[in-house]
Every structure is written in structure tokens, then in C-alpha cells.
Structure 1
């Protein structure tokens, strides 16, 4: 009994030390875990969540790199566009291009209006002439006043057609100016690719402008070609019908169909070849126009030369020759000759006094236009 009591006392004492040791051990573990992995209270958790979560974007931070709001597409961004030297050129080119598009659209609408008016005047003229010829075909009284009234109406319509031709000539000059401006702007856009100090957005904008300018160039070239074709047809129409009105006037005077030999001969002279190209080399030209640059101011000198020639011979006939160098662009020479032809008619020279031709000249270094007096 004594031994058991002693053992129990020692066991109880050891248990007290064991409990104390475990308490210290647990306290040490709690301290270590607090130091390495702190456990947050509810207040601390809310604070940590506030730190971890990014603040909502404000007006000043919206659109930044980490903003949750959608970032605009690069084309709408103003971070770089227009701030570099090339970007500023891009904005300048864009403004010039928009103006060019507006001009081309306006001139296209004017062309459609002019063409519609030309067709209306031509139809009215043909209706009056057809009525006169139908009466003359079956015969009528000499000097029939009804036919004279129709003849005057036809002459008025032909004068209106001549006015349509002037409008188309002026419009052709404007469209040719558009074509020159488009080519010049396209060259500038392409040259801007070689400038230093550009960013990727600048080159992207330049490529867009280059594509749009290419498409606009096609539209302008087609418009100019259509105008030139209509002008050539209108010139031929007016020349032929003016001679036809002379024959109709003679038929009205006699009361039947009448063909004037002189008028027919004059018309044959108009459509017959003026000379062979070789014959021009033996003649001294009245005027030589060299198209060695984009804008040649030839009209003042041309007007003076034509005025002096017509003072000496009011019925003088002029040969307008498109001269191209060997291996040169014959189409360019022809277009230059057509422009000179329009200038001459705008100066008041009747188109029947001008006969166009073309030739190659090995000694020529650029496209030229020669004018000879018969």
C-alpha cells in the first residue's frame, strides 16, 4: 500500500509536468503559426480583401492598361496618331483626300447633268431636222414659213448643244485638275513611308490612304475618259450638223431636197487626211508646244499666234499634230493635242478650221504638239 501510494504521488506529479509541458508546447506552436501564417479576424479579412481587389476605374483611369472598361480600337486612339511628324502629315493628307473626294463626287454629278442635257438638246434638234427633211422629201412650197420656223428651232438647239460642249470642256479641265491632284497626293503618301520617326499606326493610316487614293484615281480616270469621249462625239456632231443646216436652208428655199456641192466638199475636206506625217517635217510650224512638265502655260502664246494668222487669212485652216518621240507614249501626245484643240475652240476658232493628225519624231525628247497653217 505504501509503495502504491508513493507511485501514485509520483505519477500525479509527472502528469502535472506533462500537462504543463503540453501547454507550453501548444503555446509555442500557436506563436510560431501566428508568426508564419497569421490568421485574420473578420476585420482583418475585409482589410486584406480591400487591398487585394483593384479599385474600380475612375474617369481618369478608364481606358488604361488594366482598366476593365473596353479600350477603343487603335484607329481611334490619339496616343500616337498626329503627335509624330509623320502622323501630322497623315492628318494633312487625310484632309486633302476628303476634299479631293468631294470635288470628284461633285464633278461626277455635274457630268451626269451635262450628259442628260446634251442628250435632250440633241433629241430636240433631231426632231426638228427630221420634220424638215420629211416635208422636203415629199416636196413643199419654196420658203415655207413653217419649215423656216423649224429650221430656226433646230439652229437654236444646235447652239444649245454648242453650249453643252463648252460646259463639258470646262468640266474636263476641272476633272483633269482632280486627276493631277490625286496623282500628286498619292506620290506624297508613298514618299511618307520613307520618313523616320513614324509609329506603326502612322504606316497603317498611310496604307489605308494609299488604297483609297488608288480607288479614287480609277474613278477620276474613268470620268475623264468619259468626258473626253463625249466631247469628241459632240464636236463631230456639231460640225456635221452645222453643215447639214446649210443644206436644209437651201432645200427650204427651193421647196425640196437639195445638196450643196460646196458644203459636201467642205465636209469631205474635214474628214479627209490633211497630210502624211512625212510632209509635216518639210513645213515650219506656227506653234510648237512641248509638254515637258505637268502644267504648261501655252494658251497666251497660242492665242497671239492664232490671232496673227487669222488677221492675214480669216479662213485659214490649221493642222494640229500630236508629236510623240520614238518609243514614247502616243496616248499622252494624243491627250495633249485634244487639250490644245479644246483651247483653240474656246478661243473662238471654229472646229471645222482645225484638222488633227499625229506623227512620231525621232528628234523629239518629249510629247509635243505642232500647229501648222495651210
Structure 2
């Protein structure tokens, strides 16, 4: 193993680094996006600010004609539509307030957790676990707000359809016989008001759709960050935001035989030796993968469980199974740090190059 630049040996684990790769386990506050007061905390959720209040419906004195009666009926329909828009606007503003409040509470909790992790704490600190649960609950409130906004979006779309139908009805009324000049004057004013209402409901629909998209993206990102934070709490030290924040494009697919063919031929990003179930490796692994993604946002990672060759076929099989479980643990850690499944692969092999089980992580 002379090609490795160095290694870090803790009380229960050893992790080797490839030559030319920055050292694992560096100062967590120096990572991109880190800070002394919150470790890369994003700004609270940003939503639209528009309000959608119809100007009202003009009043007309009845002309006594059949067309005049039709005008009054159309006016009442427009008043109903505008009442719906006012209710939908109020619902939108209420959901925005709830989402902003939940996001602010979530970020405050995340800031407190990261501040404690950056100075170090006990693994699985129950106070941080409780705060993490509260943060998860706040994100759940944002999710509920998205669901209510989706329902509201359906209502707004229905209102938009009603407005379009009303406009067609107004325009077709111009062609009816038996109207006086005042009827057509009233229809013109009513058409203008309906047009303004149509523009307003379109704006409402558009801004509501943008809010849903923003919240959905925000929720996905923060859930990944929260998963990464759970790893840090489990280890009692800060790692960073979800690695999914650094991913762009698609990674190359893994080779059909996994990373077995790379053993002894290429330098892995890391080699992890498990001494027992308490082996701690996640912070160093996070830092190593994070540094790779800074340079290569489209990178994937292949996990290879390498077991020593036993004196018999049975011993080799037992060693392979045991080491593969260690590889599965590393794979789960990478996934919890925010790496999607398509960026990861797991394979296992036996090799005379090792005298104890190791898990190698290769850059794809």
C-alpha cells in the first residue's frame, strides 16, 4: 500500500488517502459554505410577494330590456368570480406566512445544531436529537403548505376557466338583438372589468405555481441537508450540508463488474478498515467526497468491499460476507450525506493484497 500518501488512525478506525488529495478530517469550518455561526445555512425560504385584490364590479341601472337583464346576470357572475379570487388570495397569503414562519424556525434550529457541532459534542447528543426532530417537524409544516397550495392551485385554475367562459358570454351578448345603446355601453364596461379580472387571476395562478416550485425545491434540498445533519449528530461533530448541493449533470455509469477490476490498479479515494461497530469514519469520508465534488460535480463513487483470501472456500465466503456488510454501511452513509443512488455502486471481492477486510471508495 505504499502508494497512499498517509493515513489517519483513530481509536477504532484507519482511513488512507490518495496522493494529491487534500487531507481528510480538516477544520470543518473551512469547508465551502461553512461558517462559525451556522455552517452554510441558506437564507430562509423566499416566496412571492404579490397580492391579488379585484377592483370590484361596476354597477348598472337596468334598461328593462332582455339584454339588460342578461347584463345584470353577467355582472352577478363576475362579482362571484371576484369573491372567489379574494378568498384564494387570502388563502395564498396565509400559506405564505405559515411557510415563512416554519422555514425561519427550521433555520434557527439548524443554526443552533451546527453551532454546537462545530465546537464538538458527544455522539448522539440527545439535546441535538430533540432539536433535529423539531427541525424535521418544521419542514413537515412546509410540506403540508405545499399540499394546500397544490389544492389552491386547482381552485385558481377553475376560477380562471370560469373567467374565460364569462368573457366569451359577454362578447356573445353583443350579438343579441333587442338591445339599446345603454346595454352595449354596459357590456363594454363589463368586458373591461372581466378582462382585468382575467389578468389578475392569471397572475395569481402564475405566482402560486412559482411558490409551489420554490417550496418543492427548497424542501428537497433541506431534507437532504437534514439527513446529512443526522450523520453529524450521530458522530458529534460538524460535517456540512448535503452533498447533493454540489452535484450537477449525470455521473458515468459504473462498470459491469463494479470496482473489482480497479483494485491494485488505481488509487482509491479512501480505504476504511472497520475494527468494530463503533468505527467512526463519516466526517473524514464526507470531507473527502465533498472536496472531489468541488472539482468534479459530475463524479460518482464506487464502493468496493475487499476481503482477504481464506485458507478454504468457506473462510473466503465468510470474510466476503462480513466485509460486504461493512461496504453496505459505507454505501448507506454516502446516501445519507445526499448522494443519489445513481451516483453510487457497491461490489465485493477477495484479494491477496489485503490481510484484513477493507472498504475502498473509488471516484467514478
Q: TM-score, normalised to structure 2's length?
A: 0.50
In structure 2, what is the equivalent of residue 181 of structure 1?
162
Distance across 1 between alignment mates of 2:109 and 2:92 = 26
Distance across 2 between alignment mates of 1:116 and 1:193 = 44
Kept in 1, the 8 Å contact 2:121–2:237? The answer is yes
Identify if the C-alpha distance between structure 1 residues 172 and 137 changes in structure 2 by more than 3 Å, giving closer, same or farther. Answer: same
Match of 2:116 among 135, 138, 143: 135
Distance across 2 between alignment mates of 1:192 and 1:161 = 46
In structure 1, what is the equivalent of residue 203 of structure 2?
222
In structure 2, what is the equivalent of residue 211 of structure 1?
192
How far is 1:197 from its partner?
1.8
Count of aligned residue pairs for this structure pair: 195
How far is 1:272 from its partner?
3.4
Residue 235 of structure 1 pairs with residue 216 of structure 2: yes
In structure 1, what is the equivalent of residue 92 of structure 2?
111
Q: Is there any run of 5+ residues in structure 1 with no aligned partner, and where?
A: 1-73, 275-351, 354-374
In structure 1, what is the equivalent of residue 171 of structure 2?
190
How far is 1:89 from its partner?
2.0
Kept in 1, the 8 Å contact 2:74–2:166? The answer is yes
In structure 2, what is the equivalent of residue 3 of structure 1?
none
More helix by share: 1
* Per-residue deviation, residues 119-174 of structure 1 (Å, max 9, x unmatched): 00110111111111111111111110110011000000000110011111111111
Kept in 2, the 8 Å contact 1:125–1:157? The answer is yes
Distance across 2 between alignment mates of 1:198 and 1:208 = 15
Match of 1:264 among 226, 239, 243: 243
Helix, strand or coil: the match of 2:104? helix
Residue 121 of structure 1 pairs with residue 121 of structure 2: no
Look at both structures and tell me which one has the larger radius of gyration over its CA atoms: 1
* Per-residue deviation, residues 210-265 of structure 1 (Å, max 9, x unmatched): 011111122212211211111111000100011111100000000012359xx635
Q: How does 1:1-374 map to 2 (within 5 A)?
A: 75-76=60-61, 78=62, 80-81=63-64, 83-84=65-66, 86-258=67-239, 264=243, 272=249
Q: TM-score, normalised to structure 1's length?
A: 0.49
Kept in 1, the 8 Å contact 2:95–2:149? The answer is yes
How far is 1:87 from its partner?
2.2
Kept in 1, the 8 Å contact 2:60–2:72? The answer is no
Kept in 2, the 8 Å contact 1:169–1:231? The answer is yes
Distance across 2 between alignment mates of 1:139 and 1:209 = 68
Identify if the C-alpha distance between structure 1 residues 194 and 239 changes in structure 2 by more than 3 Å, giving closer, same or farther. Answer: same
Distance across 2 between alignment mates of 1:185 and 1:192 = 11
How far is 1:91 from its partner?
2.0
Identify if the C-alpha distance between structure 1 residues 226 and 135 changes in structure 2 by more than 3 Å, giving closer, same or farther. Answer: same
* Per-residue deviation, residues 69-92 of structure 1 (Å, max 9, x unmatched): xxxxx943x4x33x32x2232122
Helix, strand or coil: the match of 1:146? helix
Kept in 2, the 8 Å contact 1:75–1:201? The answer is no
Higher relative contact order, structure no. (Cα contacts within 8 Å, ≥ 6 residues apart): 2
Distance across 2 between alignment mates of 1:196 and 1:241 = 62
* Per-residue deviation, residues 282-313 of structure 1 (Å, max 9, x unmatched): xxxxxxxxxxxxxxxxxxxxxxxxxxxxxxxx
Q: Is there any run of 5+ residues in structure 2 with no aligned partner, and where?
A: 1-58, 252-338, 341-364
Helix, strand or coil: the match of 1:248? helix
